[in-house]
């Protein structure tokens, strides 16, 4: 919360020193109905610093400088309450368990008061991580994790874990396990979205279905990266990464094939990989924003039995050119949630079809 007046010359200096992007300020001002046409940073800074901003606007701009310098990384886990507990609301259960944990010492985590609203519970965690080999002054790093429990129905939730990096994954899962663990009397079961449970064919179908999904605010431009792995039944496991920067040799045409709409399976390299027992384990998709200028790359993958949805990079437009700039957290959150929901639905559908197919055999 901003409690001090910010002098306009400080704002001017921030823009001139490029601590905050011109495009970010333009986007913020456009939402207020203010359109500035300055074509260079110096002119823009002189035009904008005379505008009187309120406390909330300065706070928003501060967030654009600090928290928006990073991209959102997430894990999605489902949880379900047992059939024998039909009279227990799953969100109330999580809230009660959180209050029990907070009332007793629970190292190494510091758990803030959970916030319950609009069919969801938000939990903020903090813990201290010791960095080996660092100077004593900076060897202890405080890391923050945000867990959002979204209610699907009275017995099912999806758990959205936001974290600074994949280093926090095991910590997050361990906390969830502690949260629901009541020994033999536990009412909640975690259901990991594990792509490895799908057949090789359905793993390919899963990523293809995401490519084919129609989003309201974004349109697929191309696939910028793909990871293929050899199936577990093979004697040796191999992995290779394909990026759109690699345009020579056997990897030529990967981006072009997807861009033209012919799909992953029509590519010669991918076809040969699948024929040799490989499957797709992750993909990076580049989307164009249809409601405003900008693009972003989102990565869908499965690691340690959990579905990961990460924003890899985002681009905003300035003077007709795209440059790298993290989207505001609200926009990143919208992207993450939409792709989580889509991936969750597609995974559950394919898994159910696969189980039904196995039963019919």
pLDDT > 70? residue 135: no
Looking at the chain, the whole-number percentage of residues with pLDDT higher than 90 is 19
Determine the Cα angle at 144 with ends 333 and 95, to 5°: 80
Contact 191, 245 (CB under 8 A): no
pLDDT > 80? residue 75: yes
Question: What is the structure's pLDDT at 46?
Answer: 76
pLDDT > 80? residue 117: yes
Mean pLDDT, range 134-156, rounded to an integer: 77
Question: What is the structure's pLDDT at 288?
Answer: 94
Question: What is the structure's pLDDT at 295?
Answer: 92
Mean pLDDT, range 212-221, rounded to an integer: 93
pLDDT tens-digit readout, 267-312: 666 667 767 667 788 888 999 999 888 899 999 998 778 899 999 8
Q: Which residue has the higher pLDDT, 322 or 206?
A: 206
37 pLDDT tier (thresholds 50, 70, 90): low
pLDDT > 90? residue 148: yes
98-120 CB burial, b ≥16 within 10 A, e <16: beebeeeeeeebebeebebeeee
Tokens representing 322?
A: 């795209």
The CB-side HSE value for 161 (13 A sphere, CA atoms) comes to 26
Question: What is the structure's pLDDT at 226?
Answer: 79
Question: What is the structure's pLDDT at 248?
Answer: 43
pLDDT > 50? residue 239: no
Question: What is the structure's pLDDT at 35?
Answer: 74
Q: Structure pTM?
A: 0.74
d(CA 244, CA 260): 14
Q: Which residue has the higher pLDDT, 349 or 117?
A: 349
- State the DSSP H helix or E strand holding residue 224, giving kind and residue range, or none if neither: strand 218-230
Residue at token pair 């969750």:
344
228 pLDDT tier (thresholds 50, 70, 90): confident
Q: Which residue has the higher pLDDT, 115 or 274?
A: 115
End-to-end CA distance of the chain: 61
């Amino acid at each position: 919360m901003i409690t001090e007046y910010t002098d306009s010359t400080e704002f001017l200096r921030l823009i001139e020193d490029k601590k905050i992007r011109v495009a970010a300020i333009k986007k913020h001002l456009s939402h207020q109905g203010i359109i500035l046409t300055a074509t260079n940073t110096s002119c823009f800074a002189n035009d904008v610093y005379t505008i009187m901003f309120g406390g909330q606007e300065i706070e928003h701009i501060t967030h654009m400088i600090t928290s928006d310098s990073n991209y959102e990384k997430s894990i999605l886990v489902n949880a379900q309450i047992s059939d024998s507990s039909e009279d227990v609301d799953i969100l109330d259960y999580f809230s009660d368990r959180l209050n029990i944990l907070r009332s007793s010492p629970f190292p190494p985590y510091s758990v803030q008061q959970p916030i319950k609203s609009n069919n969801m519970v938000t939990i903020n965690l903090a813990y201290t991580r010791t960095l080996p080999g660092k100077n004593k002054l900076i060897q202890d790093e405080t890391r923050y994790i945000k867990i959002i429990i979204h209610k699907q129905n009275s017995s099912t939730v999806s758990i959205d874990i936001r974290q600074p990096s994949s280093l926090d994954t095991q910590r997050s899962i361990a906390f969830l396990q502690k949260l629901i663990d009541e020994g033999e009397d536990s009412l909640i079961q975690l259901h990991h979205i594990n792509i490895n449970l799908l057949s090789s064919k359905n793993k390919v179908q899963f990523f293809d279905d995401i490519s084919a999904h129609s989003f309201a605010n974004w349109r697929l431009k191309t696939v910028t990266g793909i990871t293929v792995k050899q199936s577990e039944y093979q004697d040796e496991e191999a992995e290779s990464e394909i990026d759109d920067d690699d345009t020579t040799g056997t990897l030529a045409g990967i981006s072009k094939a997807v861009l033209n709409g012919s799909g992953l399976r029509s590519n010669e390299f991918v076809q040969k990989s699948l024929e040799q027992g490989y499957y797709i384990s992750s993909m990076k998709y580049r989307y164009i924003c249809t409601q405003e200028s900008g693009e972003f790359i989102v990565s869908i993958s499965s690691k340690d039995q959990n579905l990961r949805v990460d924003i890899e990079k985002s681009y905003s437009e300035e003077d007709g050119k795209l440059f790298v700039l993290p989207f505001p957290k609200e926009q990143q959150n919208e992207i993450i949630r939409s792709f989580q929901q889509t991936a969750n639905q597609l995974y559950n559908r394919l898994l159910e079809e696969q189980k039904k197919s196995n039963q019919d055999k």
